Amino acid sequence: MGINDEGLELIKEYEGLHRVVSDNRIAPYKCAAGYPTVGYGAIYARSGERVKMSDSPISKVEAEYLLRRDCNIAYRAVERLAAPYTEDLSENQMAALTSLCFNIGSGNFRASTVRANIVRGAFENAGNNLWQWRRGGPDRRILPGLVRRRAREKQLFFS
């Protein structure tokens, strides 16, 4: 199946396209956590290698490809880590969890209270715990963009 349109648009909105250069291509940049990134938050290039700041800029089509690839990876991670309860989740709940997993990584998702609540069947608690993932950067400070993103994910989760 995969992430729905609402979830994909949420991720696009909060990841954004950074460093669009004059020829309308997207150059690598460092995300808030300090990782070389390209497109809509991709830390891995099409080749599977980590993005490097010295990598060539990519097209918007390539950025979209990387986004869909990474969303599929995050979606499958949520399916695997929240099984068997994923069949009880709505499309919007899966989309919100996929956005969270896309942003924090599957290891952090696995260790999260959000996931712990899902596997206990406490879906409402899971949605209400999304706010806990609002810190970022090397100093783990609360980032306003993550506060807004978690609020949107919560809204999507409960819609």
Q: Which of 1, 53, 3 is nearest to 156 (CA)?
A: 3
Catalytic pick among 31, 62, 64, 91: 31
Integer angstrom CA distances of residue 112 from 64, 98, 106, 155 = 28, 13, 10, 19
User: Distance between CA atoms of 63 and 96, rounded to whole angstroms?
Assistant: 21
The question of whether 15 is a catalytic residue gets the answer yes
The question of whether 62 is a catalytic residue gets the answer no
Catalytic pick among 6, 9, 13, 15: 15
Q: What residues pair up with 70 in beta bridges, in sequence order? A: none
Which residues are catalytically annotated? 15, 31
